[in-house]
Chains A and B, each alone.
Chain A
């Protein structure tokens, strides 16, 4: 079983709609969770971190964490074509070791 799993997509969402990206992880003791955005040919950019159960909102982005279910998600409201990218879920597995999921490729259609 992979340590961090994401649906690789592609996920296609119309402009203005909500994009929902999901991630599950295997290590129950993980405490820190991150979402990175990676445009084609660019390096990953940190967009959200979440440490506690519940929701964390930052502008159009909301991260949701459920440690009991070992599940973390990212919602993007009012999706824009500039949101088209690969979104990487990362989990801290201890000792500052980040394990990344395969990434979900998101396309926002105008």
Chain B
């Protein structure tokens, strides 16, 4: 199976700033996704990162707050913009596996906003 890496693994940021999270895969994959896991909560899908086109966002998530790039089939970034303490979460990228709907997760980025 593909190896997924995320950078940074964790960060502490100030309110009002932005952070860009990188997700790198060691092989080409069609489907990449970004999730958020708030403290003590389950995972919520933010968006599907589409290669060469705009990301598809889920209800409650907007491009201005969470811009996503997917320049090729091995890389994607998620930016958390104008952060507030409510954005403190673990952000995870995932990719589709051997079946289109099987997903595997990266190690995650633990974000704390002060």
Q: Known contacts A101-B42, A102-B41, A102-B42; is A43 also within 8 Å of B107 by CB?
A: yes
The answer to whether A46 touches B100, judged by C-beta atoms less than 8 angstroms apart, is no
A13-21, A54-62, A74-82, A92-100 - the one binding chain B: A92-100
The answer to whether A46 touches B43, judged by C-beta atoms less than 8 angstroms apart, is no
At the interface, yes or no: B67 with Cβ under 8 Å from chain A? no
The answer to whether B106 touches A100, judged by C-beta atoms less than 8 angstroms apart, is no
User: Which of A42, A98, A101 is close to B103, meaning CB atoms less than 8 Å apart?
Assistant: A98
Cβ–Cβ < 8 Å partners of B113 in chain A: none
Cβ–Cβ < 8 Å partners of A70 in chain B: none
Bound: A100/B107 CA distance, A = 18
At the interface, yes or no: A22 with Cβ under 8 Å from chain B? no
At the interface, yes or no: A49 with Cβ under 8 Å from chain B? yes
Q: How many residues of A contact B (CB 8 A)?
A: 20
Cβ–Cβ < 8 Å partners of A34 in chain B: 102-103
Cβ–Cβ < 8 Å partners of B31 in chain A: 96
Closest to A103 in B: B42
Q: How many residues of B contact A (CB 8 A)?
A: 23
B37 to chain A, nearest CB (A): 9
Q: Known contacts A43-B106, A43-B107; is A100 also within 8 Å of B42 by CB?
A: yes
Bound: A96/B34 CA distance, A = 12
A3 to chain B, nearest CB (A): 11
At the interface, yes or no: B19 with Cβ under 8 Å from chain A? no
List residues of B (75-90) whose CB comes within 8 Å of A's CBs.
90
User: Which of A90, A96, A99 is close to B48, meaning CB atoms less than 8 Å apart?
Assistant: A96
At the interface, yes or no: A32 with Cβ under 8 Å from chain B? yes
Q: Which A-B residue pairs are the 10 nearest by beta carbons?
A: A43-B105, A92-B101, A100-B42, A100-B43, A43-B108, A32-B101, A102-B42, A44-B105, A96-B101, A103-B42
Known: A88-B42, A97-B58, A98-B43. 18 other contacts (CB 8 A): A32-B99, A32-B102, A34-B102, A43-B105, A43-B106, A44-B92, A44-B105, A45-B105, A46-B104, A49-B102, A92-B101, A96-B33, A96-B96, A96-B103, A98-B101, A99-B45, A100-B43, A103-B42
